Amino acid sequence: MEKVNYFIKSGKNLLLEILFPSSCVGCSIRGQILCTNCEQNLRQAERPTESNILALYDYRDPIVKKAIWELKYHKTPYLGARLGALLYDAMQEDIMGIQIFSQGLPIYVVPVPISKDKKNTRGYNQSEIIARSFCNSAENNIFELKNNIVSKKLNTIPQARLTNRSKRLQNIKGTFEVKNGEEIKGKTVIIIDDVTTTGGTMLEMMKILKKSGAKKVVGFAVAH
Ligand SMILES: [Zn+2]
């Protein structure tokens, strides 16, 4: 039913679904993009990763890895939507804490941006797909999706290509830019990413959002 609702919301995805009927990313069974059985067996991430950064799944799990790969390179936005809903479900307790902290103000949900080039090739920003579904999963409109607040300035070397931690942290410095900074003052923000490795990207975004006056910033990732 959840799946049906999602496709009603998005005609474009419905078309995709007709053109490429889904089969499970884990076991190839037809009818579901991620079947209940595979979903229940995904390896959970060891928490916490960094302070204020939480991840749902262990990226070493081959199905998790494949799901992220498919989402990034094989135009499967509905897979990202499913992952966003799962992320919301798993983070209930933390969300409640954040909600208390935000004192009734909407919580801003900011996806990690990707470069324009990448977005053009990929057709979408995968973190934005995850974030949108994450927001839509809440029944009481506690979230506001903000995909115009942080933009990516430079085309850095993909973090995944750098094996050295300090090189990764150096590579990410100065990559992001806060736009409409006024909006962020005093707000509670959740950054959403598909995968966090060293946490460098999230930490850099947290830093610039805090600089712009955000009261509290946390990061949620689908995998670590
Ligand atoms: Zn399966």
Under a CB-based contact definition with an 8 Å cutoff, are residues 188 and 207 in contact?
A: no
The predicted model gives 17-42 an average pLDDT of 86
Tens digits of residue pLDDT in 173-184: 778 999 888 899
Distance (Å) from CA 142 to ligand 1 centroid = 32
Distance (Å) from CA 28 to ligand 1 centroid = 6
pLDDT grade for 159, boundaries at 50, 70 and 90 = low
Give domain 43-223's CATH architecture.
3-Layer(aba) Sandwich (3.40)
What was the pLDDT predicted at 7?
52
Note the pTM of the prediction, 2 decimals: 0.85
The predicted model gives 45-71 an average pLDDT of 90
Nearest to 130 by CA among 182, 191, 183, 181: 191
DSSP code of residue 138: -
Please provide the average confidence, as pLDDT, over all residues in the chain: 88
- Residue 223, strand partner residues: 57, 195
How would you classify residue 141: left for phi > 0, otherwise alpha for psi between -120 and 50, otherwise beta? Answer: left
Kindly list the domain boundaries of the chain, sorted by start residue: 43-223
Distance (Å) from CA 31 to ligand 1 centroid = 10
pLDDT over 80 at 81, yes or no: yes
